[in-house]
Structures are given as C-alpha cells and as structure tokens.
Amino acid sequence: MLNWLISDNKTKEFSFKCSGCGKTHRGAPSFSFSRPAETCTIPKTEYDRRVYLTKDLCSIDESSFYIRGKLNIPIRDSDEYFHWGVWVKQTRESFYRYLESYGRDQTGDHSYGWLSADFYLDKRWRARHTDRMLKSDVHWGGAGQQPEIFIFESEDHPLAYDQRNGISWDHAVELTMNTIHPHYEEDEALAS
C-alpha cells in the first residue's frame, strides 16, 4: 500500500502511493477548515445576516469572534509537519487587538483561545473526545503569516498529545487518506 520515496539528500520526503486514487501524493499534508465549526449550526436563511467571514477572520452575531491559524503536528522520522488550518475563538478584546495590527508584524504577540474544529478523521480523536473548545495559545507571527496554534498541554486530548509528541508516518498517511477520500475507512472495512 505504501511506497516510501527518498530524495537525493537522504531526507525522507512525505509521499505515498494512494490506494484510494492510485496517485502518488508528495509533500507535507496541508488541509484547512473553511469556517469555524459553530457557523454550521446557523440556518441558511440567517447565515448572511449573522455571519461575517473572510479567509482569516469571522464573527457570529458580532458576539463570537474567530481568527484562522495553523496547527502543526510533527511527523516523526521526518522534518515535515501535518498542517491543519483551523479557527480559534477569541475574546472580543483579543479579536480587535489582532485586527488592529492585522497585516503588520505581530511577532511576540499572542492571545488565548478555544479551538473551533471537528476532526472526524482520526478514530482516536473522535472516539471519546470533542475537538471543539480545546484551550489554545495563539502566536500571531510575522507580517503576512498565519498565527500558530498550540493546544494547552493541560488538555487531555489525543490531538494535544500528537501536537507535542508527533505522529507516525503511517498515521500521517491515514489522516491524509481520510481527508482526501472521506470514505476510505468505510471502504477498507467493507473490503476486509
């Protein structure tokens, strides 16, 4: 199922032959959520009136505020990361403070927030945990860079553990397969 590709400098590049589509996928996996999970509960007839959404900012009813950032999970035995583009809920004060300096260098600035994502792709993450509202530290970063999201070490959640300790190569492939081909796990179960 998996074919490892080694580059000329002997550094393992993340790549695998996909059993779902037959293609070889190369490079660090990078996927993102287009909007905060909480927006999914808003009726379509009310959405345009209640939700303000750009690629990096969101507010709901001008009372719930979100910024988009990246949550990186190290892939063990590799120099690469599994990248998730996620939304983090912010206090009104943090959101407007972020907005005031948006587009400028924000290195050294940060805020606290709560992860707003539903990760259904990993059996361990969805088995007994919710992914929403995990306490997170948001490091804002340099001009034009997305903030980096770090889940608090005190959170008892497999996603927090994975961010601190990394995931195996096979686990990164599994997550990629489940993201690219959402019914991959079901198809594999039916085939066995």
Domain residue spans of the chain:
28-168
* pLDDT at site 122: 55
Whether the per-residue pLDDT at 118 is higher than 90: the answer is: no
* pLDDT at site 1: 29
* pLDDT at site 25: 80
Whether the per-residue pLDDT at 10 is higher than 60: the answer is: no
pLDDT tens digit sequence for 174-191: 888 877 776 554 444 333
pLDDT tens digit sequence for 38-79: 898 899 999 999 999 999 999 999 999 999 999 999 998 888
* pLDDT at site 119: 66
Full-prediction pTM beyond 0.95?
no
Q: Please, which pLDDT band fits residue 170 given cuts at 50, 70 and 90? A: confident
Residues 72, 77, 80, CA angle at the centre, nearest 5°?
35
Tokens of 122: 């990993």
Whether the per-residue pLDDT at 139 is higher than 90: the answer is: yes
